[in-house]
Structure 1
Amino acid sequence: MQDWHVHSGFCPHGSGRSTEEILLERMEQGATLVGFAEHAPFPEGCIDPSPLRDSAIRAQDVEPYLDEVERLREKYAARCDVRIGFEFDYLPGYETTIQDFIDRYGHRMDHALLSLHCLHDRCVDFSAAEMKRLLDDHFSGNVVLLYHDYYQTLARAIRSPWRFPFPVAIGHFDLVKKFRPDFPIDPAVALEAALPALEALAGRGLTVEINTSGLKKPCQEIYPTRAIIAELQKRGVRLQYGSDTH
């Protein structure tokens, strides 16, 4: 098993376990490749939208994180292929700052995830209450409009002229559905809203992850939906597994 979405002991909203403990757990679960993808620090001047301000690691923890995963890669080389990476939050207007981070640390990275966790300075995955505030403040409570905005923003992230010197996957493609029981939407309407992001993938060489963490969330479904997976396969988009372990 290859698990390309694993967080470390440096994650501020993690389980509190050490990076080594997390690696050992993934290995015990059968992973022969573990891709650490810690949340990259938010760009300077960008306020973390999480009410707990715990979305990403601190800038001062970047090199200690890289050093620790490199240490573990050497220690467990005979048992597991350990890869080093980051999960980048797409933040409109901060593309240059994100690219600067990639340019600075890319030589120490093997892969990355590009994800969309927030819109209009609100987290779509923090809580149902935060989702309702986002809906009420920016979409007059209309969940369909929110889905369209989410996927249009994701399409913008996909189309941005990144210079990635390593493989990149889109993380939890339809994270916006996390609190779907509280904010229901017709599956066909949700799929239609996703089309701009699906179409943006054409010719980009990006992978999309099958993220199983959704099974433990209110939506009780992997990310993305089977309907989206079918569209991805129809388009020849590569898929990879990620547990999103914290």
Structure 2
Amino acid sequence: MKIDGHIHTPLCPHGSIDLFEQYIEKAIQNNFTHISFTEHAPLPPSFDDPTPDKDSGMDQKLLQPYFEQLNTLKLQYKNQININIGLEIDYISGFEQQTKEFLNEVGPLLDDAILSVHFLQWGTEYCCIDFSEDVYLDFANKVGGINILYDLYYKTVQDSILADLGPYKPKRIGHPTLVHKFQHAHNESIHDDRVIQSIFQLMKERNYELDLNSAGLSKPLCKEPYPPFHLIDYAKSIGLPFVFGSDAHTARDLHQHYNILFP
């Protein structure tokens, strides 16, 4: 099997308008046998998206059309490629119950899903840490420094693994080193291998799998996949299951860097 398990769509409010068919046709041309569309799920209704354009998650009104379009495309392309209908679910501290209720509603309609941390909580404030370099650095300053930001991020990832989100909780943890996205902006030497390894061990113990996410290689202030290469090797060494994900938000970026990760 040749899989790309993390793909966004024209329904992504901060992505492109590239058609589903553009992604599918490119995947077929590149001999992928399985793809998962994992659009950003609608955020909890009472959560105030801290990004300026309030565009971190899919509009709730588009959820049903999303399922309908993909079910049609699954049938249309069934003899050429396996299309999974998925969502990327945000783990947001304090919103576990609403997330669980949402998953109970949509879970039966999903073939695949990813659980990711984009938002960190500090007091009563939330920050989308991958939004921009400035937002990232401002938040680091607010919490007391880059090291504390990293600690908060990994603690939140660990909380996401341990959280009770019900029977439809995703079993794949998205880009678990996303906090590295702007690492060449702060230029501090952060020694986080041990905490990442402990997270991978926890994932293995609890039967989670890793979103081996290539998108960071395209980010000029990251320059590495999520997780970095030596920790991909560690994940393999402990037998942690993984699924490649390009995290493409445009058809052009579909399968980005696959040949680097799987030469």
Normalised-by-shorter TM-score class: over 0.9
Q: Does 1:6 align with 2:11?
A: no
Equivalent position of 1:221 in the other structure? 224
- Partner in structure 1 of residue 245 of structure 2: 242
1:235 deviation in Å? Answer: 2.9
Match of 2:130 in 1: 125
Contact 1:40 1:87 in 2 (8 A): yes
Aligned to 2:27: 26
> Aligned-pair distance for 1:100?
0.9
Contact 2:38 2:113 in 1 (8 A): yes
Match of 2:255 in 1: none
Q: Secondary structure at the match of 2:183?
A: coil
Cα distance, 1:193 vs structure 2: 3.9
TM-score (normalised: structure 2):
0.87
Amino acid at match of 2:134: A
Q: Which amino acid aligns with 1:197?
A: I
Q: How does 1:196-207 map to 2 (within 5 A)?
A: 196-207=198-209
Unaligned runs of 5+ in 1: none
Instruction: Give me the whole-angstrom Cα distance separating, in 2, the residues matched to 1:92 and 1:200.
Output: 19
Structure-2 residue corresponding to 1:158? 161
Match of 1:149 in 2: 152
How far has the Cα of 1:33 moved from its partner? 0.6
Q: Which residue of 2 aligns with 1:87?
A: 88
Stretch of structure 1 that moved more, 24-33 or 217-226: 24-33
8 Å contact kept, 1:125–1:175:
yes
Give the residue type in structure 2 aligned to 1:16.
I
CA distance in 1, matches of 2:108, 2:243: 23
CA distance in 2, matches of 1:70, 1:78: 14
- The question of whether the paired residues in 1 share the 8 Å contact of 2:174 and 2:211 is answered with yes
Q: Which amino acid aligns with 1:211?
A: N
Q: Structure 1 length as normaliser, TM-score? A: 0.93
Aligned residues: 243
In the alignment, is the contact (CA less than 8 A) between 1:86 and 1:112 conserved in 2? Answer: yes
**2:63: which partner in 1?**
62
How do 1:110-121 residues align onto structure 2 when only pairs under 5 Å count? 110-120=111-121, 121=126
SS at match of 2:86: strand
Residues 169-227 of structure 1, C-alpha deviations (whole Å, 9 max, x = no match): 1111100000111022435x121343453343242111001111111112111110123
Question: CA 1:167 to 1:129, structure 2 compared with 1: closer, same or farther past 3 Å?
Answer: closer
Kindly report the root-mean-square deviation, in angstroms, between the aligned alpha carbons of the 2 structures: 1.6
- Counterpart CA distance in 1 for 2:245 and 2:204 is 22
Question: Any idea what SS the aligned residue of 2:182 has?
Answer: coil
SS at match of 1:133: helix
Identity of aligned residues (%): 30
For 2:234 and 2:43, the matched residues in 1 are separated by 32
Cα displacement string for residues 54-84 of structure 1 (whole angstroms, at most 9, x for unaligned residues):
1110111111101111111000000000001
Change over 3 Å in CA distance of 1:150–1:166 after alignment to 2: closer
Contact 1:191-1:227 within 8 A present in 2 as well: no
Letter in 1 for 2:95: Y
Residue 142 (structure 2) pairs with residue 137 (structure 1): yes
Question: For the Cα contact (< 8 Å) 2:99–2:165, is it kept in 1?
Answer: no
| Cα distance in 2 for residues equivalent to 1:177 and 1:86 | 23
Task: Please give the secondary structure, in 2, of the residue aligned with 1:57.
Answer: coil
**Do the aligned partners of 1:115 and 1:172 also contact (CA within 8 Å) in 2?**
yes
Counterpart of 1:57, as a letter, is: M
Range with greater deviation from structure 2 (198-207 or 31-40): 198-207
